Structures are given as structure tokens and as C-alpha cells.
């Protein structure tokens, strides 16, 4: 059994006209038998096999030359397209098709005198609006002007159908030579899936009841050169979906075109960010912008990306957090500020980590971490309602309720409940042994607070399914937070955990400059054993010395929040353009 592409290569050596002459006397059925095509290897899907059988049954009595003429097959590309239909086009194997499309573009421009890339087009209606307002548009015979990308194409004799996709969805167009004119129809016959067109016409239903725009004019707006992978759908079932993760991430522009679910995920992402901004704006927070390139990095524990400013001859870092400059604004009298921005951490890539990610940080003067809990609850609960219409979601197979209030739990109590360890009554050696028993590590030797933090991660974290504020972290976990009123071993800090993952982190911010200098200096000394420890930031301490009011601070990973609310399990699926290794094939 021949491979169809090999067959095309073999018979195309002498040209299409020679091939047609050679097989002109054969019936289609005889042609199939002559070339031993019981079915084509290219037809790997059930839909492909059905298509081949249908072509054979409908045309077996015709001579192949008659079939070629009736279907207006003029070259080997038309011949292949007729048999293979809208088969998926591999992105890596497009050179031949690109050449054919370039030739079509040149023919449209040079021979037909039509600019394949005009300047603009007036759009008055979109697919969703046309469908929802069909009755009035149809009754009044309102002329609509619509534009979009061709996603399905049935080119016949003097009347054809195509489906275009615009920003709201898809809609069918009826394109007839008698309606749009001979010259425009000749251009239409040169179009391919992926091309962008505009048109005007009235809205009707076809005999099978499909809402369709019957065009009275058609304009080519963009002749696409690179073919799309074609995703087919029939009776709600999707064939040849664009599912290769590597290709999706590297070609997000294509993914957004051919995968409605991907586009819907990113629409939700944008809606979530917009909702959060509106929520905070209504609470009198100012949205601000702070430096991305910084001379000293801080606000978290992470290895930074390093750059160099040539003119100033100085080392600069990509920020790892937003905290330091936002707190300086609090000192300067901006009592409520927030920023949603990119931060950069030179760390590994996994399901929930990308070197570049989006972070929300906000600071409220005269508040504390209890106020931050309230804001966090509101953001998570109301964002879920805004994009999903409910607080009840399913994530990674678990039923999650984002209905407030969320549970509060001390870190040591969570360890006791989920790990069956009473860390407050354990010796240092017992704590260290508990860390080692689960394969953990204490960088730079034993440290009481770091040991408790590590034990929590090893024994408790993964068991926290419903939204839970883990409060009272050990003092050693950060140098930027106030200690608890009644137990200075712990901090007024919380992290929000859902389904074993951290989603938010908040402090009652330290505003004691003496304490702040001491803790940041002590933290900087750990750089000898922990490369993620931040350096001493004298400028920040001096800002605090001017006087910072009591302040509550909150950080939320936007990407993880979007993952939670869209059901996506990989951070790359909620980033338009995730970090990828260079493609050696390009």
C-alpha cells in the first residue's frame, strides 16, 4: 500500500497535465485499484477513512479526468487536498505548502491586481452578536459587516461555504459568484484555511437551520503563508486536536487560533486580573509601578537573574519580589498601594514554577495580617464567582470550596494534626532527625525555626486540601515581619494553602528599624551557606528609619490563582509565553 505523499512525489515529476493525460481513461475505481489504494496511510483517523470511502462510493463511476474537472482540481495541491481534506498539517513539515501559498499570493497580487494585505476593514458585527440577535437582523434584513479567519472551507463550483472565526466565535458564510462578482469570487477560490477575510451581507438560515451570513461583497484582508494545524469537530467530537504540549507552548499564537479551550483560559486570566484591580481600586488602593532592574534584590529568598548596565558600569538584578519599593511608598505617604507585575527567580521549572511569573503585592498602612486575611478571602471567593459563577470548584480531582471564611491553623498545630509530631516538645536532635527521616535538609546546620518550617513542608503541607491560613511561622523564616504579641518565637505571618500548594503570603510588616537592621543583617550572613538568602539592604533600612506606619502586606501568585480557577494543572498552560529552551530546529 502506497503512502499518499510518496505517490504525489512520484507522479508529480512529469507535471500535473502529464499525470492527468496518463490516467484520463481510468475510472476512479480503476485508478484506486491500479495504484493499490485500498485506503491511504495518511488516513489514520476514523474520520479520514470515512472520507475516503465516501469519495470512492460517490465517484467510482466517473473517469478520474471527469472528477478532476468537476472538482476544479488544477494542480497536485488541489488533488491532494481533495483526497485528504482538512488533514492536520505538521508545523515542522510545511515548506512545500508555504511555496504553494506564496505562489497564490503572488497570483492574487500580480495577476488579479488585488492587495492581499489591505490597510483596514470596517467591522460592524461579530459572530456572537449576530447569532444572539438573529431574529431582528433577519427580519429587518440588516446588512452586517464581519471579518475573521477562515477555519473551514468548502469551495465548490460557483457557490461555496466557509466558516470564519472572529474574537467571539465562529460563523458560517455563504459565498456565491452571482452575489459578490466574478473577480471577487476568483480571489475567493484562491483562499486557504487560515486566510483572513471580511465581507458584508444579510443574515439567513440555511436549509439545515444554520445561521449564515450571505455575502454580497468579500475582501481578502490577509493571505496566510504558513498553514495551520486543522482541528476538526463533528457532532461535538474533536478530531486531530492540537494537543502536543511542546508545540502549544512554542506556538501559542497558533494554539489560541485552533484551541478554543486555551483562548477561554486566557480570557479568564485577564478577567481575574481585571477583577482584582477593580476590587482593590474600590478599596482606595493605588496601582503603582516599581523598578524591575534593581541594584539590590530582596523581599524574598531566591537566586536572582543578574545583568549589567554598561553606561553606569554597575551590576543590576531582575527583581525577585515587589516588596521593598512598595514599602518605601508607604513611608512616603501612599497609605494603600498595590502592584501586579512580573518577578524573576533563577530557579527550576516544574508544574507550578516558571522563572518569570506574575505577582500581586499590596500594602495597607495601619493594618496588620488579619486585615490581609480578609482581603485574601475576598479576592479568592469573589474572583471565583466572577469567572465561574460559584465558589465550589474542582481542582486536580478534588472538590474545593472557596466559600469564606477560610480555616485558620497555627503551623505547629498543622504539624501535630497531619504529621503526628509535637514539635514544641521535641529536642533539637529530635527535630533534626524528623527532617532527615523525610529526606529534608537544613542548609548551614541546625536552626530551630528553619527546622520547624522544613518539618511543616515535609509532613503537613500536602495534606491541606481546603483553603487554610497557616499562621504563626517561626521567627527565623523571614526578617521582614513582626513577632507575635504573646510568643516572640513566632511571627504574625500567614501562608494560604489550598490542595497542598501555597497561594498567598502575608505579614504584619516590621517597622522597627533597629529590629529590621538586625534581622536583615543576620539573614544576609546565611548567604555563605544559602545562595537564596538576600543581601543586606541598607537603603531599605534607612527608609524605615524615616518612619513607616504599622502596615499589613500581602503577596499572591497570580499564575497559581489562575490555575486554580481554570482547572489547569501546569503553570505553562496559564502563561501566554512560558519560558522554553531554544528550538534547535528553528
pLDDT one-digit tens code per residue, 410-464: 999 999 999 999 999 999 999 999 999 999 988 878 999 999 999 999 999 999 9
CB 356 within 8 A of CB 304: no
In the DSSP assignment, the letter for residue 203 is E
d(Cα 421, Cα 423) in Å, to the nearest integer?
6
In this prediction, residues 76-82 reach a mean pLDDT of: 67
Res 60: pLDDT: 61
CA neighbor of 476 nearest in space, from 530, 551, 553: 530
Supply the DSSP string of 69-132, one letter for each residue.
HHTT--SHHHHHHHHH-SPPPPTTS-HHHHHHHHHHHHIIIIIS---SS-S-------HHHHHH
Cβ-based neighbour number of residue 359 at 10 Å? 22
CB 423 within 8 A of CB 415: yes
Q: Is the pLDDT of residue 88 over 50?
A: no
Could you tell me the three cell numbers for 52? 475516503
Q: C-alpha angle 13/14/17, rounded to 5°?
A: 125
In the DSSP assignment, the letter for residue 167 is S
Find the distance separating the first CA and the last CA of the chain, reported in whole Å.
Answer: 33
- For residues 229 and 79, the model is more confident at 229
Which SS3 state, helix, strand or coil, does residue 507 take?
Answer: strand
What structural domains and CATH numbers belong to the chain?
4-85 (no CATH), 114-241 (2.40.50.140), 262-406+466-574 (3.30.930.10)
Q: Is the pLDDT of residue 93 over 70?
A: no
Res 520: pLDDT: 85
Res 223: pLDDT: 98
The percent of residues above 70 in pLDDT, for the chain, comes to 83
CB 234 within 8 A of CB 47: yes
Q: Quickly state the pLDDT bin for 527 (edges 50, 70, 90).
A: confident
Q: Is the pLDDT of residue 523 over 90?
A: no
Q: Quickly state the pLDDT bin for 91 (edges 50, 70, 90).
A: very low
d(Cα 372, Cα 377) in Å, to the nearest integer?
9
Query: What is the C-alpha R_g of the chain?
Result: 32
CA atoms within 13 A on the CB side of 1: 7
CB 458 within 8 A of CB 435: yes
Per residue in 103-115, pLDDT tens? 999 999 999 999 9
Cβ-based neighbour number of residue 297 at 10 Å? 24
Q: Quickly state the pLDDT bin for 95 (edges 50, 70, 90).
A: confident
- How far CA 373 is from CA of 367, 471, 555, in Å, comes to 11, 10, 11
Question: Length of the chain, please?
Answer: 586
The percent of residues above 90 in pLDDT, for the chain, comes to 69
Could you tell me the three cell numbers for 353? 514554577
Cβ-based neighbour number of residue 363 at 10 Å? 27
CB 301 within 8 A of CB 453: no
Q: Is the pLDDT of residue 388 over 90?
A: yes
d(Cα 128, Cα 168) in Å, to the nearest integer?
6
Q: Is the pLDDT of residue 193 over 70?
A: yes
In this prediction, residues 229-253 reach a mean pLDDT of: 75
CB 97 within 8 A of CB 66: no
Work out the mean pLDDT of the chain and round it to a whole number: 88
Amino acid at each position: 500500500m502506497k503512502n499518499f505523499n510518496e505517490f504525489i512525489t512520484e507522479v508529480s515529476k512529469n507535471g500535473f497535465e502529464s499525470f492527468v493525460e496518463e490516467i484520463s481513461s481510468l475510472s476512479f475505481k480503476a485508478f484506486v485499484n491500479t495504484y493499490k489504494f485500498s485506503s491511504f496511510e495518511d488516513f489514520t483517523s476514523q474520520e479520514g477513512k470515512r472520507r475516503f470511502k465516501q469519495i470512492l462510493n460517490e465517484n467510482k463511476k466517473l473517469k478520474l479526468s471527469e472528477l478532476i474537472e468537476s472538482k476544479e482540481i488544477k494542480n497536485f495541491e488541489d488533488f491532494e487536498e481533495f483526497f485528504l481534506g482538512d488533514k492536520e498539517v505538521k508545523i515542522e513539515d510545511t515548506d512545500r505548502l508555504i511555496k504553494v501559498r506564496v505562489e497564490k499570493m503572488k497570483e492574487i497580487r500580480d495577476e488579479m491586481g488585488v492587495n492581499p494585505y489591505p490597510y483596514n476593514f470596517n467591522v460592524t458585527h461579530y459572530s456572537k452578536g449576530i447569532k444572539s440577535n438573529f431574529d431582528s437582523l433577519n427580519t429587518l434584513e440588516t446588512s452586517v459587516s464581519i471579518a475573521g479567519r477562515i477555519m473551514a472551507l468548502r469551495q465548490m463550483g460557483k457557490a461555496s461555504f466557509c466558516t470564519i472565526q472572529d474574537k467571539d466565535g465562529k460563523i458560517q458564510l455563504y459565498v456565491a459568484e452571482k452575489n459578490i462578482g466574478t473577480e471577487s469570487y476568483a480571489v475567493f477560490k484562491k483562499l486557504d484555511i487560515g486566510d483572513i477575510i471580511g465581507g458584508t451581507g444579510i443574515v439567513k438560515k440555511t436549509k439545515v437551520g444554520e445561521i449564515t451570513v450571505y455575502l454580497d461583497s468579500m475582501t481578502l484582508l490577509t493571505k496566510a503563508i504558513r498553514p495551520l494545524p486543522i482541528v476538526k469537530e463533528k457532532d461535538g467530537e474533536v478530531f486531530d486536536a492540537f494537543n502536543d504540549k511542546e508545540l502549544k507552548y512554542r506556538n501559542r499564537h497558533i494554539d489560541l487560533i485552533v484551541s478554543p479551550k486555551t483562548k477561554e483560559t486566557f480570557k479568564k486570566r485577564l478577567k481575574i486580573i481585571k477583577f482584582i484591580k477593580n476590587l482593590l481600586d474600590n478599596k482606595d488602593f493605588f496601582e503603582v509601578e516599581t523598578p524591575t532592574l534593581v541594584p539590590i534584590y530582596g523581599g524574598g529568598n531566591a537566586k536572582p537573574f543578574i545583568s549589567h548596565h554598561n553606561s553606569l558600569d554597575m551590576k543590576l538584578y531582575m527583581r525577585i519580589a515587589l516588596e521593598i519599593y512598595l514599602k518605601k511608598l508607604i513611608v512616603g505617604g501612599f497609605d494603600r498601594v498595590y502592584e501586579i507585575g512580573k518577578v524573576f527567580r533563577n530557579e527550576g521549572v516544574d508544574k507550578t514554577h516558571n522563572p518569570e511569573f506574575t505577582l500581586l503585592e499590596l500594602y495597607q498602612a495601619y493594618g496588620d495580617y488579619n486585615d490581609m486575611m480578609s482581603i485574601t478571602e475576598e479576592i479568592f471567593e469573589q474572583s471565583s464567582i466572577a469567572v465561574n459563577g460559584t465558589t465550589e470548584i474542582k481542582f486536580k480531582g478534588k472538590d474545593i470550596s472557596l466559600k469564606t471564611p477560610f480555616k485558620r491553623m497555627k503551623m505547629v498545630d498543622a504539624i501535630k494534626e497531619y504529621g503526628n509530631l509535637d514539635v514544641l516538645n521535641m529536642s533539637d536532635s529530635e527535630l533534626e532527625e524528623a527532617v532527615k527521616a523525610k529526606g529534608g535538609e537544613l542548609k548551614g546546620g541546625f536552626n530551630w525555626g528553619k527546622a520547624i518550617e522544613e518539618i511543616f513542608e515535609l509532613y503537613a503541607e500536602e495534606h491541606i486540601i481546603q483553603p487554610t491560613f497557616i499562621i504563626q511561622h517561626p521567627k527565623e523564616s523571614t526578617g521582614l515581619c513582626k513577632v507575635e504579641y504573646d510568643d516572640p518565637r513566632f511571627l504574625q505571618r500567614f501562608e494560604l494553602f489550598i490542595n497542598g500548594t501555597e497561594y498567598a503570603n502575608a505579614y504584619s510588616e516590621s517597622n522597627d528599624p533597629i529590629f529590621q537592621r538586625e534581622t536583615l543583617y543576620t539573614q544576609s550572613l546565611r548567604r555563605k551557606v544559602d545562595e537564596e538568602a538576600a543581601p543586606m539592604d541598607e537603603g531599605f533600612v534607612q527608609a524605615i528609619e524615616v518612619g513607616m506606619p504599622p502596615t499589613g502586606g500581602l503577596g499572591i501568585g497570580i499564575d497559581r490563582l489562575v490555575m486554580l480557577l481554570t482547572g489547569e494543572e501546569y503553570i505553562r498552560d496559564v502563561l501566554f509565553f512560558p519560558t522554553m529552551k531554544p528550538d534547535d530546529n528553528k
